[in-house]
């Protein structure tokens, strides 16, 4: 991953200032292309799918239902006119954060102030910002997102809603899919086939399943511990010096290698310590130069409930004398959470933890089941978290009562 992409904690891409007024069109297009390439690289890496977004090519969208369009972000006031006049869009629902807009230097004020939706005010910020590449944030916010969506959009009124994030490949299709599942009677996996068949995207179905269970079962967080062990540590190194002997010539790049004995963690770690000749000593003295034991490598976890943009440090486990066991303790809502270990900056999945494929990625995962559920709730949780599981008519009625007390989806 390019180093520059680590600079923004809320979003994987750092803010870049807008191009100066005297920048040529070609230079601006080249800058947008480079930004698109960086964004696409991070998107593919963190979403586990080979996806490409070309911001410089303008608005990109697909009609999923007669009254529902999923697409990329609006870039100019002309996009507002195009959607209203050519596609019959009456409501625009935005899931971007401010830093998403800053990355592509969007003049959001000019877009929001454009009003040509058949007399209705266009509000670019209708909806709720959701963090990019963060399925857990989507899971938590989906109920409020869909509640606002159903309040503002009435399928029977004849209008069309346009749901977008930045590229329209993660958050926006995820919100559309949840809406289709909860209010338009689409079975989740069938809806996924429809959405991905019409648009190249990768909505996180597991986040929708988990959000559904949250609504219906009212589950509480469950304590979870993820651990990794590293047996052994770097040993001191003996360097004997004899003035009567000459040490062979060592190139400046030569290094004395200290290898950490392999443990049952996700990586084998090798550290290099440059060799420095010891100072001259009397011939009768043969010193030993101890090196302090190398500190355990910094091991972190990304994913879980914080998304791929943040990292959680593992701590030395209590009463783990000599075993170098490190643990992360979290309270997680029921559901399946993907994660990866990061050791000294290197990302990988551990063979000692359950793994799963997520598009092109292999990640570790932990399955968290709810506690204190009655048998009916436990059965519903298992069904709704499983592939092929569907809502019953009563469960859809419960969700409608919680999220949409209005007449728009009666």
Cα(380)–Cα(361) distance, rounded to whole angstroms?
30
Catalytic residue, chosen from 73, 94, 165, 217, is: 165
Long-range contacts of 250-258 (CB under 8 A, 24+ apart): 250/275, 258/234, 258/291, 258/294
Is 8 catalytic? The answer is: no
Whether the CB-CB separation of 125 and 95 falls below 8 Å is answered with no
Question: Do β-strands 160-164 and 68-71 pair in parallel, antiparallel, or remain unpaired?
Answer: parallel
Catalytic residues, which ones? 165
């Amino acid at each position: 991953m390019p180093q520059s992409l680590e600079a923004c904690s809320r979003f994987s891409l750092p803010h870049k200032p807008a191009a100066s007024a005297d920048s040529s069109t070609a230079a601006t297009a080249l800058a947008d292309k480079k930004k698109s390439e960086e964004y696409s690289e991070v998107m593919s890496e963190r979403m586990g799918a080979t996806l490409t977004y070309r911001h410089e090519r303008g608005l990109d969208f697909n009609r999923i239902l007669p009254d529902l369009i999923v697409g990329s972000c609006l870039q100019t006031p002309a996009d507002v006119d195009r959607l209203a006049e050519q596609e019959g869009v009456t409501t625009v629902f935005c899931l971007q954060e401010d830093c998403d807009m800053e990355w592509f230097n969007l003049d959001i004020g000019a877009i929001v102030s454009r009003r040509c939706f058949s007399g209705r005010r266009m509000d670019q910020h209708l909806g709720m910002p959701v963090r990019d590449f963060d399925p857990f944030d989507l899971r938590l916010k989906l109920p409020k997102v869909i509640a606002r969506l159903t309040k503002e959009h009435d399928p029977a009124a004849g209008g069309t809603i346009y749901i977008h994030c930045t590229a329209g490949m993660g958050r926006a299709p995820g919100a559309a899919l949840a809406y289709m599942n909860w209010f338009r009677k689409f079975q989740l996996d069938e809806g996924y086939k429809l959405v991905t068949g019409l648009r190249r995207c990768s909505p996180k179905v597991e986040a929708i399943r988990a959000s559904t269970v949250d609504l219906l079962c009212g589950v509480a967080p469950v304590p979870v511990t993820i651990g990794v062990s590293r047996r052994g540590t770097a040993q001191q190194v003996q360097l004997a010096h004899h003035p009567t002997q000459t040490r062979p010539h060592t190139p400046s790049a030569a290094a004395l290698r200290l290898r950490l004995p392999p443990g049952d963690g996700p990586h084998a770690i090798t550290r290099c310590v440059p060799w420095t000749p010891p100072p001259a000593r009397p011939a009768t003295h043969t010193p030993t130069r101890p090196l302090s034991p190398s500190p355990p490598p910094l091991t972190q976890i990304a994913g879980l409930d914080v998304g791929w943009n943040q990292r959680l440090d593992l701590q030395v486990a209590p009463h783990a004398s000599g075993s170098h066991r490190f643990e992360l303790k979290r309270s997680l809502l029921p559901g399946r959470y993907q994660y990866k270990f990061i050791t000294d900056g290197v990302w990988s999945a551990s063979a000692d933890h359950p793994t799963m494929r997520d598009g092109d990625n292999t990640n570790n995962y932990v399955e968290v089941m709810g506690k204190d559920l009655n048998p009916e709730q436990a059965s519903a949780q298992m069904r709704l978290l499983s592939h092929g599981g569907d809502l019953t008519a009563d469960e859809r009625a419960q969700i409608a009562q919680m999220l949409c007390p209005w007449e728009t989806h009666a």
